[in-house]
Amino acid sequence: MALRKALARATALRAMAACPVSARGAATTTTTTIGRASADATASALARSHAHGGAVAAVARARRAITTRNQVENEIYDRSRQEIPLGNRVPSTAVDAWIAPNATIAGDVDVGNSSTVWHGAVLKGDLGAVRVAGWTNIMEKVVIDAAGAAARIGQHVTIGACTSISAATVENNVLVGARSVLSPGSHVESNAILEAGSVVEENQLIPSGQRWGGNPARFIADVDGNEAKEIVTIGDDIRGAAEDHADQTLPWGNAYWQTEKLRASLLKE
């Protein structure tokens, strides 16, 4: 609407500028001169506006061309897989284990009964075996790999978010705090607790029934009976939350039907 008004005003001013000066006198001459200048200025402004609009349109077309070439980023669903076989190394998960939709289990990895692997976690068995026993929780963005030797996680273990475990052993009933590091060859015995941010060095042993923490990890205190029982309680609560997440997951093997239908309907619009 504003563009139409500007064009109409420019046309009127040019028509006024084209009228004979003698019919309007000296005062009209001044008006004509101002009108012609105003018309020229308006026309120049409109030309700049059109040029700017053309540039904006060109940028928009370029952006569309770029995004068109990379269709993966524009997809309405994630094509990544939870389980990735690597040659003869094939992941295996228990029927009642819960694997988050964007967690990744690759290669020689076993996940035991009622265990949970949360969002963004990666269990990588490309260079060796990764074994996760039953009733264990691998929290968000945990990375477990087997760099030349097996990585073994026992029963009733909770591995805190963003923890890195490389070719290490964690026995039963252990709580590992968030953002901890277990270096290759390290060993955490049963009923032990690692504080958040702990760094267990290569081949270091964390004895049973003790609390350790720091960088490098050092002894803090003994774990009493109530604390040992609390490790199991924490794990049970986490698995209860995982059941709520599992209830919202589409049935395995049929999810692509819904996503393909949605994609087709959006492409028609």
Summarize pLDDT for 98-127 with one digit per residue, the tens: 999 889 999 999 999 999 999 999 999 999
User: 54 and 47 in contact (C-beta within 8 Å)?
Assistant: no
- C-alpha torsion sign, points 14, 19, 20, 21: negative
Query: What pLDDT digit, counting tens, does each position of 166-209 carry?
Result: 999 999 999 999 999 999 999 999 999 999 999 999 999 999 99
The class (CATH top level) of 83-247 is mainly beta
Q: Name the average pLDDT for the chain.
A: 81
Q: d(Cα 45, Cα 154) in Å, to the nearest integer?
A: 74
Count CB-CB contacts under 10 A for residue 183.
Answer: 18
pTM for the whole structure:
0.66
Write the DSSP symbol of residue 147.
Answer: S
